[in-house]
A = this chain, B = another copy of it.
């Protein structure tokens, strides 16, 4: 069983006595595990390289993101269970708020959580060209996915979302990433048409009128980014001969897991935020372990609180995760290997992913316990695993479980 605390890695925080949230948190279960385990540091790709949640999870699931990663869109599509056909182009979308001059007021429409299914239905199946089918579906909160289905489309296009550093600027035109890409021009035209039509359709929608009346920002446009073509990945079952399960709420993680061939255990109660129901995650994971070789349990809240620079809340949330871990440990066989890891660090005071390595732990009947003091960024510096990449971390875990192959004879 592999526990992933998204973005848990942090840096010393003055208010916490120059400790990290993980160091400051009271985590008896993680610490006890680490003290009887082999520990170390992990770089998602390599030291000094920052990664996103998508790339971090591709690496943790044993893939080489440099070979398999072609844009976030297809991962988000998989996350909400849209099956892509080989020629499809998928884009991540946000419901957002623009003013009358099409300037972006809020990229997340006030982090809208309700009513997006109704809005999405208005856009799904939209006719923007005779030979391009539009599939549009809401994801968690303000997120959604756009799929363009048709021939002669290209993922080499730019984003219409101007990004977090350009609030107040106009919605961008979608363009080919490089001039002269004919298929990309055709695709960009379709995206621009879709974004324009989304504004026309959504701006006077009853859901938005109600939001404005309630003092909320209207979800009056869809912004696009991360265009990508369908990925082809060999599943973990094909690669290692194992059955995997992933317990998670976040669509990105679910998307990567689904593409990697994991069985998915999710629920509307898994909010990919701090209000997720951790006890249910624990229960699902224990259940999944009965019929799977590898169970991944992912928690997103740590990353959310880091992006929002809330170190104290992060510390408390880590303590809740520790309780969840205790619940799982109390109910699984002592022969099960239990690993702790993360997809990347998200130091609160940076508010973004950094390349700081994350602490890792492998606990199980046959590991050489290395006598570290507990599970944290600092104590794991002295661990017996030394410093591994995410791929190496997974392979080491699978090797203990007996799922690797010998090279040579």
Say if the beta carbon of A55 comes within 8 Å of chain B: yes
CA of A386 to CA of B377, assembled, Å? 13
Distance A72 CA – B407 CA, assembled complex (angstroms): 11
Option from B53, B72, B378 in Cβ contact (under 8 Å) with A368: B378
The CA-CA distance from A394 to B48 in the complex, in Å, is 8
Q: Is the CB of B366 within 8 A of A11?
A: yes
Q: A48 contacts B398, CB within 8 Å?
A: yes
Given known A-B contacts A11-B367, A47-B392, A381 and B381 have beta carbons under 8 A apart: no
Verify A368–B408 contact, CB threshold 8 A. no
- Assuming the A-B contacts A50-B399, A386-B41, are A408 and B65 also in contact, with contact meaning beta carbons closer than 8 angstroms in the complex? yes
- Residue from A46, A384, A402 whose CB has the most chain B CB atoms within 10 Å: A384
Proximity bits, A366-390, B CB within 8 Å = 1, else 0: 1111100000011001111111100
Q: Which B residues are CB-close (under 8 A) to A124?
A: none
Task: Specify which chain B residues have a CB less than 8 angstroms from the CB of A49 in the assembled complex.
Answer: 395, 404, 407
At the interface, yes or no: A207 with Cβ under 8 Å from chain B? no
| Chain A 223-240 per-residue mask, 1 if CB under 8 angstroms from chain B, else 0 | 001100000000000000
* B367/A378 in contact, CB under 8 A: no
* Chain B residues closer than 8 Å to A53, beta-carbon distance: 408-409
Enumerate A15-43 residues with CB–CB distance to B below 8 Å: 20, 38, 41
A377 contact set on B, CB distance < 8 A: 368
Give the secondary structure class of A's interface.
loop
Instruction: Identify the closest chain B residue to A72 (Cβ).
Output: B409
Cβ-based interface call for A347 (8 A) = yes
A381 to B382, CA, bound (A): 8
A388 contact set on B, CB distance < 8 A: 47
List, sorted by A's number, 14 A–B pairs whose CB atoms are closer than 8 Å: A12-B367, A45-B407, A46-B392, A47-B388, A48-B391, A49-B395, A65-B407, A350-B402, A352-B406, A353-B406, A354-B400, A355-B395, A368-B378, A382-B384
The reply to whether the CB of A349 lies closer than 8 angstroms to some CB of chain B is: yes
Q: A47, B395: Cβ atoms under 8 Å?
A: yes
Contact A407 B50 (CB under 8 A): yes
- Min CB distance A116 to B, Å, is 20
State the CA gap A388–B47 with chains docked (Å): 7
4 interchain residue pairs of minimum CB distance: A48-B395, A55-B408, A52-B408, A381-B384
Q: How far is the CB of A38 from chain B (nearest CB, A)?
A: 8
A255 CB-CB contact with B under 8 Å: no
CA of A226 to CA of B48 in the docked complex: distance in angstroms? Answer: 33
Q: Once the chains are docked, how many angstroms separate the CA of A396 from the CA of B352?
A: 15
Contact B48 A408 (CB under 8 A): no
Q: Are A381 and B370 in contact, CB atoms less than 8 angstroms apart?
A: yes
The one of B72, B355, B368 in contact with A11, judged by C-beta atoms closer than 8 angstroms, is B368
